[in-house]
Structures are given as structure tokens and as C-alpha cells.
């Protein structure tokens, strides 16, 4: 059967359309990756040197019998994954809607809303995994990884990245000004980083603040990463942590899918 003129003119869909979107962002990142090296890699390493070795030198007993550097590193692994994911889910997403209109160009191609969202989230995963892999190598050189289970921090970081990036995609797709993105960092990301067990045990907080810390996805990833790098059991069950993070990721996906659909489907 001879195809019609319209069928011959219509571009064919990739076998996995989301991978085409991922490739688009990877091509762009190949030109700009140097700009993100400091914030996503060198800054956490400097934090390890400053807090882990500098402040840690004044903490003779460590934390729970563990050297402070060893105790701190898994918290920094999780918080770095959080910051990389949030960074990719705020201004870049807002820009693709408001300023450079990339999403509208992609939706004009044979791509569905779910393909665009999935491809962009895959790019966030690539950024998180490459950053955390390099971070593990560097902290391993410092001797801060006490267990071979430390490699399990990679999938934990990936799940945390999805858990925070997906709902942030929805947020960035709905706000009208980038001032709201700065407020997200000021009132959510910074407090979460300070009080979710990265730098000191959550048990040191008052009871009310402690439960707020438990409600954040970051604390669950910190507990899992700390258990992996120290070779100990987490405070909560592994399944409970993973299900909680997965709930954030799946709920965020639904919200982001709805927000993207409202903006892109006319």
C-alpha cells in the first residue's frame, strides 16, 4: 500500500520518544557542563574539607562513636543530590516555559507531554548520578566510606532526585515569576538542608521540629545513605524509606504531568 503525501511528510516517532528529549538536553549540557562543576561537585568537596576535616577536628568523640567526617559525608551525598535535582527543576524548567519556549517547540514535534516530562526527568537523573558518583570517588579517597555498601547511595540519590525534582517541575510550571523560585530555595531547600540530619543528628532537635524533619524526603535519603556508607542499619526500615521517597516521586509526577499538560495542550 502506497503511503499518502501526509504520511510521507509526517516525521516518524523515535522508538522511545523520551530518550530523544534526553538526548536534546545532553547535547546542550555538553556545552555548559563546566558552569555547573563548582556548584554540583567542588562546593560539596569544599564542604567536606571545611566541615568534615576542619570542624571535625574539634569533635573528639565524633557522632555515635563515628568520626565526624565519616558521619557527615552521607548527609552531604543526599543534600548534594537534592540541590542538583532542585537546581535542574527550577530555573531551567521555568525558562523552557517562559523565556526560550523549548517545551512548546518540543510539543510541536511528534512528542507527547509525558515524553517531554520523562525525558527531562531522565536528564535530571543523569546529572544526579554523575555528580554523586564523582562525589563518592573523592570521599573514598579521604577514607570516609566505611562499607562497600556505599555504592547503594547511588540509587538512593537517584530516587531522592526524582522525589524532589518531580514536584518541583510542577511548581516551576505553574509560577508566574522566577521570584517564586528563589522563595522555594529560601523557605524549603535551605531549611531542609539545615535541619534534616545532614550536619547534626535530628534527635538533637525539639520534638516538633524533629517530626518536620522526618516529613522531608531529604531525611529519609540521609538515613539510607548513612546506613550504606557506615555499614549499619537505618533508623527506619529500608522499605519504609524507599516507599516514602517513591510516593513523593509518583505524586510529583502526577502533579507535573497535569501542570505540563495545562501549559502545553491547547
- For the chain, domain boundaries: 14-264
Neighbours of 194 (CB within 10 A): 13
Distance CA 74, CA 77 (A): 5
Write down the pLDDT at residue 14.
52
pLDDT in tens, the chain (266 residues): 444 444 344 444 456 889 999 999 999 998 888 877 776 677 777 877 777 677 766 675 667 778 888 899 999 999 999 999 999 999 999 999 999 999 999 999 889 999 999 999 999 999 999 999 988 988 888 888 999 999 999 999 999 999 999 999 999 999 999 999 999 999 999 999 999 999 989 999 998 889 999 999 999 999 999 999 999 999 899 999 999 999 999 999 999 999 999 999 86
Instruction: Classify residue 66 by its DSSP letter.
Output: B
Q: Which residues contact 213 (CB under 8 A, 6 or more apart)?
A: 195, 196, 197, 202, 205, 219
C-alpha cell at 65: 562513636
The DSSP string of 164-222 is HHHHHHHHHHH-SSTHHHHHHIIIIIHHHHHHSSSSS-GGGS-HHHHHHHHHSHHHHHH
110 neighbors 232 (Cβ within 8 angstroms): no
Distance CA 157, CA 150 (A): 11
Neighbours of 117 (CB within 10 A): 25
Write down the pLDDT at residue 266.
61
Distance CA 91, CA 174 (A): 12
Distance CA 263, CA 175 (A): 11
Partner residues linked to 66 by β-bridges: 63
Write down the pLDDT at residue 4.
46
- pTM comes to 0.89
Write down the pLDDT at residue 256.
98
Distance CA 124, CA 96 (A): 15
Task: Tell me how far apart the 2 most distant CA atoms of the chain are, in Å.
Answer: 80
What 3-state class would DSSP assign to 107?
helix
70 neighbors 144 (Cβ within 8 angstroms): yes
Write down the pLDDT at residue 109.
86
Amino acid at each position: 500500500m502506497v503511503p499518502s503525501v501526509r504520511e510521507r511528510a509526517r516525521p516518524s516517532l523515535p522508538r522511545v520518544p523520551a530518550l530523544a528529549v534526553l538526548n536534546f538536553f545532553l547535547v546542550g549540557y555538553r556545552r555548559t557542563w563546566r558552569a555547573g562543576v563548582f556548584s554540583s561537585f567542588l562546593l560539596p568537596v569544599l564542604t567536606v574539607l571545611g566541615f568534615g576535616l576542619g570542624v571535625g577536628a574539634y569533635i573528639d568523640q565524633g557522632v555515635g562513636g563515628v568520626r565526624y567526617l565519616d558521619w557527615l559525608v552521607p548527609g552531604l551525598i543526599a543534600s548534594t543530590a537534592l540541590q542538583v535535582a532542585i537546581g535542574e527543576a527550577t530555573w531551567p524548567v521555568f525558562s523552557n516555559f517562559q523565556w526560550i519556549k523549548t517545551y512548546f517547540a518540543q510539543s510541536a514535534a511528534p512528542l507527547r507531554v509525558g515524553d517531554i516530562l520523562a525525558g527531562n526527568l531522565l536528564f535530571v537523573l543523569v546529572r544526579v548520578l554523575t555528580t554523586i558518583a564523582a562525589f563518592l570517588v573523592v570521599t573514598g579517597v579521604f577514607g570516609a566510606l566505611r562499607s562497600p555498601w556505599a555504592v547503594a547511595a547511588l540509587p538512593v540519590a537517584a530516587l531522592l532526585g526524582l522525589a524532589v525534582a518531580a514536584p518541583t517541575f510542577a511548581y516551576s510550571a505553574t509560577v508566574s515569576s522566577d521570584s517564586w523560585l528563589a522563595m522555594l530555595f529560601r523557605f524549603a531547600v535551605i531549611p531542609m538542608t539545615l535541619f534534616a540530619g545532614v550536619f547534626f543528628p535530628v534527635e538533637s532537635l525539639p520534638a516538633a521540629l524533629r517530626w518536620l524533619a522526618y516529613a522531608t524526603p531529604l531525611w529519609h535519603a540521609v538515613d539510607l545513605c548513612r546506613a550504606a556508607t557506615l555499614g549499619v542499619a537505618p533508623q527506619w526500615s529500608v522499605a519504609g524509606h524507599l516507599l516514602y521517597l517513591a510516593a513523593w516521586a509518583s505524586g510529583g509526577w502526577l502533579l507535573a504531568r497535569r501542570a505540563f499538560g495545562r501549559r502545553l495542550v491547547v
